[in-house]
Amino acid sequence: MTSIYYNNRTKTNYRKIYEQHHGPIPKESNGRSYEIHHIDGDDTNNNPANLKAVTIQEHYDIHYSQGDLYAALLIARKMKKSPEELSKLNRLQNQKRISDGTHHFSDGKWQSALQQKRLANGSHNFLGEKNPVYERVKNGTHTVAFTSDSARIMANNRVKNGTHPSQTKVSCCCCRIVTGLSNFVKWHGAKCKLNM
């Protein structure tokens, strides 16, 4: 075989490479073709010795047990797992990225820079005279106009004072459930199931 199969920076069709070296890819009893797993976890390393045929469940189990939750999530989608299971995997993966410091929300400067850029080029969703926070953004008193440090301080002060929007509790007039403001807007009031 040519060296392109062993080049770690070249992504080629690893399924064809597996078949050329190991024969046809087996099928599960339901007719579904086996998955090809990269043993060392590097999906660009298509060395035939690094490729292994596994069932989709085995492939999911391998990645889940190794803590490669993003790969497990992608495989779980192919398996058509329940929305609850997909949500759980997504949450675990994001928690891992936050604890590792690799999640883009870990750096408050990223969020602030994005907001500043959107304000500068006029694409921020808060801009527009129909939006109730337009005046606050326009005159610079809204948190998106601040640096990440000053916004964080302001938010912390609002939490201490009990005036942060996340602390607002609202009672639904239909089902009488007391919930946070964001859940109320999504699921209660005019949208309440008992109101329909």
Per residue in 2-48, pLDDT (tens digit) is 334 444 444 458 999 999 999 999 999 999 999 999 999 888 889 99
pLDDT given at position 6: 45
Counting other chains too, the contacts that 29-32 makes at CB distance below 8 Å and 24 or more residues apart are 32/56
More reliable by pLDDT, 100 or 127: 100
Q: How far is the C-alpha of 50 from the C-alpha of 43, rounded, in Å?
A: 10
**91 has pLDDT over 80:** yes
Query: Mean pLDDT score of the chain, rounded to an integer?
Result: 78
* Helical segments of 1-127, H only: 14-22, 56-65, 69-78, 83-100, 108-120
For Cα atoms 28, 34, 48, give the angle at the middle one, nearest 5 degrees.
145
Closest CA to 17 of 32, 33, 36: 36
Query: What pLDDT is recorded for position 59?
Result: 95
Q: Do residues 28 and 53 make contact, with C-beta atoms less than 8 angstroms apart?
A: no
Task: Give pTM, 2 decimals.
Answer: 0.50
**Cβ(54)–Cβ(61) under 8 Å?**
no
pLDDT in tens, 124-167: 666 666 666 666 666 666 665 555 666 677 777 777 787 777 77
